[in-house]
Copies of this chain bind each other. A is one copy, B any other.
């Protein structure tokens, strides 16, 4: 059936059906098989039926290495994130971008990062426009400010450009894929961790701390989850008070300290990452060991207070892994036409004093 001079290599791995084999079985050329596989047109009904009937009998799985090597075309992906210089959280995301870049390099994919801030020349909208000038084939975005993000999505929709969101989901958007955490559930988890071993009255603060906090609607989901946990699961008396704090206000630290000093407070849940260490510092300065502090992410400063016991738990959002996965979904869509999940929710990782080092030193995070 085949040439006798040598056992063809594909017979050594019985699974590896090639385009050449399909062409022979269908009685057409390799070019025709390629045209069918990629819907390139210019294929007669007769040839199309021949090839399809072979494809229906045989599990053909393209060699993705060869496909990438043979492809004439390169792809560009733009990644839009908040400015990493001022926030260790986004710095972590940036290192994920660099890692993904190296990973996809040999596949002919270029990944370009763009950084935005809340307002002005470096706002999300202007940065998005600038990134479009580079003619990307797709975009990966962490949209943390709600109203600005909407304009960007409209534009991308008009252009028919695929985009992936991570970190923050915007319900009105139509991304190829969203990668993040179930925020409501992370609030439930925080509630559970707060309540462990507590059998008498609790007085708890939920602090939403940041800049332009009113645009950050996703924080309310965490609070809802937290309150839901207590409502459903806890029978002793509980008082939960939520407060918005703007880091740019002159009295920010003073207000924070007044709250920490309140002798009634048994727990504080901070819904973001960066300010957790500020809260922990004030707790430490005021020797408030009785306060159980829960926040998000293993930023360097958070980690230190965790190891010293001033922070009880951090819920890891794994931002680095999120952007790596987001880029991976976009690339798999562009290069291989792979189906990617509409939504991918990450594990809610509980970080505490005696497991934090295992996360820091681990190679898979």
Report yes or no: A74 in contact with B347, Cβ–Cβ below 8 A. no
A325-B364, A346-B364 known; A354-B65 Cβ under 8 A:
no
A291 at the interface (CB under 8 A from B): no
Copies in the complex: 2
A365 at the interface (CB under 8 A from B): yes
Residues of B within 8 A of A181 (CB): 358
Contacts of A58-94 to chain B: CB distance below 8 A: 63-66, 68-69, 74
A13-B110, A68-B65, A107-B65 known; A350-B352 Cβ under 8 A:
yes
For the complex, count residues of A whose C-beta is within 8 A of B.
50
Residues of B within 8 A of A185 (CB): 354-355, 357-358
Report yes or no: A347 in contact with B358, Cβ–Cβ below 8 A. yes
Of the 9-residue stretches A45-53, A157-165, A189-197, which lies at the interface with chain B?
Answer: A189-197
A243 at the interface (CB under 8 A from B): no
A344 at the interface (CB under 8 A from B): yes
Q: From A341, which residue of chain B is reached at the shortest CB distance?
A: B363
Bound-state Cα–Cα, A355 to B186, Å: 8
A229 at the interface (CB under 8 A from B): yes
A317 to chain B, nearest CB (A): 11
Given contacts A66-B106, A325-B364, 6 further A-B contacts (CB under 8 A): A12-B74, A65-B66, A191-B354, A347-B355, A348-B354, A348-B359
Bound-state Cα–Cα, A229 to B309, Å: 14
A148 at the interface (CB under 8 A from B): no
Report yes or no: B63 in contact with A13, Cβ–Cβ below 8 A. no
